[in-house]
Amino acid sequence: MFKKDLISIADLGTDFPEVINLALRLKRDRYSRRDSVVGRTMGMIFEKSSTRTRVSLETAIFQLGGHGIFLNPSDMQMGRGETVSDTAHVLSGMLDIITYRAFKHENVLSLAKNSSVPVINALDDKEHPLQLIADYMTIAEKKNRISGLKFAYVGDGNNMANSIMIASAMAGSDVSIASPKGFEPAKEYVEIARKIAKENGVTVEIMNDPVEAVKDSDIVYTDVWVSMGEEKQREEKEKTFRPYQVNSDLVSHARKDYIFMHCLPAHRGLEVTDEVADSINSVIFQEAENRLHSAKAAIVYLLEH
């Protein structure tokens, strides 16, 4: 039986705008159930901490008429050595959809490969697709369009940077990524994004100068300097990334009506100042709320395909 997964934001392909529109509709119709979800059960395996992703997914499946089961690997046999592939076979015999937040991208791929039901990547070391549906939904609300914009991301070339490059290329917007030397996004992801960008007549630029990236941008985005699992690099990264702080000086180079975005959690005083995070241009809490509506869109899209 054919089933669709959401491992990379690229998996949505040309359906990306349709999924954003679905999220916008589901936001307007907040408490309505969906026939395709009523009575369905979603497993939620979380190897890492989460506030937004866990709460949005669990609330989404409940409001749509289904049920979510939160699965902490340390309470599962997976935590005692049962393989990801055996876990996938077992869980997909009982569940209708599985979400997985993992340290290793390979484990998300293995879960998807061995599962007969759709798998959603709820963040791994390479990508964070659910966040980008919420982000472009927020951009659609604030800018009334998702294409023809300039998206600037300042910070670590991490999972967020990878998904942002790909999603922006899919949306038809130019993207500039400014990271310190040695912390640029992986070549493999830059290539994926550039291939899509070329088809859509937009650009993906990687640079080291944050001012150049932010210049005339419509969106200024940042993420934590130290991602989950990188705690040992904290001291070194906090020093290296200092010049990449999103502060009033830096955003003065953006367009006057720019919006500030952050997937959250934010480390205020490090990657972003309070002045920017709490400014009139900041949309961080609308963006966070949209995680709920976009989680619903992802679930509905996968169960109805």
Using CB under 6 A, list all residues that contact ligand NVA: 123, 158-160, 223-224, 227-228, 263
Could you tell which of ligand NVA, ligand CP, none binds residue 69, using a CB distance below 5 to 8 A set by kind? none
- Closest to ligand CP by CB, 211 vs 264, is 264
CB of 38 to ligand NVA, least distance (A): 30
Q: Is the dihedral of CA 148, 282, 222, 54 positive or negative?
A: negative
- The CB-of-131 to ligand NVA minimum distance in angstroms stands at 7
By beta carbon distance, the residue nearest ligand CP is 53
Catalytic residue list contains 233: no
Nearer to ligand CP, 62 or 85 (CB): 62
Q: Does 101 participate in catalysis according to the annotation?
A: yes
Among 6, 61, 175, 263, the residue binding ligand CP under the rule CB under 6 A is 263
Which is the catalytic residue, given 52, 194, 291, 293?
Answer: 291
Stretch that binds ligand CP, among 47-55, 59-67, 165-173, 267-275 (CB under 6 A): 47-55
Binding residues for ligand CP, rule: CB under 6 A, are 50-53, 123, 131, 263-264
